[in-house]
A and B are shown apart, each in its own frame.
Chain A
Amino acid sequence: MMLMIPKGYEKATPGTSPDAAAVARMMKYNESLQKAGVLLALDGLHPPSMGARVSFPGGKPKVTDGPFTEAKEVLGGYWMIQVGSKEEAIQWASRVPASENEVIEVRQVQELSDFPPEVQKVAAGFPDMQRRGS
């Protein structure tokens, strides 16, 4: 998974959207991921000012509406890609038409086989739940 972390997005007002030139550049990049057959999913996220957080102090859910004043890093979007190695993912991340304020974080997705047998047993139904509604 490649996570896009744009600095400053934590303060963006509701309705903020990227400009046409940036979207066009990104679509070209997306197309290259797609052509290489590595792209599984991608989405852009509205600014945190349009979102909410649920925290669990003392086990009870507490809702905080965005923007989140203490946030230093927030997500702007993500790509899910299927690659052979972390290095390959880093190469793809390096090709993102990103600007100076942006960082791409590359994170490996947990597969059921990454877990010990007793955990695999309890989580056996999980793969079946994924991507059902899409």
Chain B
Amino acid sequence: MRVMVLVKADKKSEAGVLPDEKLLTEMGKFNEELVKAGIMLEGEGLHPSSKSARVRFSGDKRTVIDGPFAETKELVAGYWIWKVKSLQEAIDWAKRCPNPTGAEGEIEIRPIFEVGDLGEGFTPELKEQEQRLRAQIEAQRS
């Protein structure tokens, strides 16, 4: 299974404070272990919400709201995509992660929908389209 591992924001990350050399070094080590174990598929950090925007939907209307957004602890500061055998394996890896903010940090682990998880609504035609999309994305990346 694949999981998305969300590193939650805090006051510091939202203020645009960059991680110090110690945390970066520890995180680099952790990433190295993830890659060596074949766990890590992707990982990125996100700029604070002050540089971001939200689009809200109401019928045909679209409202754009510029950041920053208030619910700091609910915001995402960065993420990984991991390939694991179980949620428990992902939890075990997350526990080994250096405290991502250095203070009261939180990591959320969410299983990703695989094609087989979508039930009968995901028709063979939609499955075929999905596979074609993924193949094209892969081709465009390289």
Number of A-B contacts (CB under 8 A): 216
Cα A124 to Cα B73 in complex, Å, equals 28
Do A46 and B57 touch (CB < 8 A)? no
* Chief secondary structure at chain A's binding surface: mixed
List B contacts of A130 (CB < 8 A). Answer: 42-44
Within 8 A of A (CB), among B93-138: 94-95, 97, 99-100, 104-113, 117-123, 126, 129-130, 133, 136-138
The 17 listed contacts between A and B (C-beta, < 8 Å) are: A1-B46, A20-B123, A34-B137, A45-B110, A48-B110, A50-B110, A52-B94, A55-B105, A56-B100, A56-B106, A63-B95, A75-B6, A98-B55, A100-B59, A108-B51, A129-B40, A133-B41
List B contacts of A132 (CB < 8 A). Answer: 35, 40-41
Q: How many residues of A contact B (CB 8 A)?
A: 75
Within 8 A of B (CB), among A80-133: 80, 86, 89-90, 93-94, 96, 98-100, 102-110, 114-116, 118-119, 122-123, 125-126, 129-133
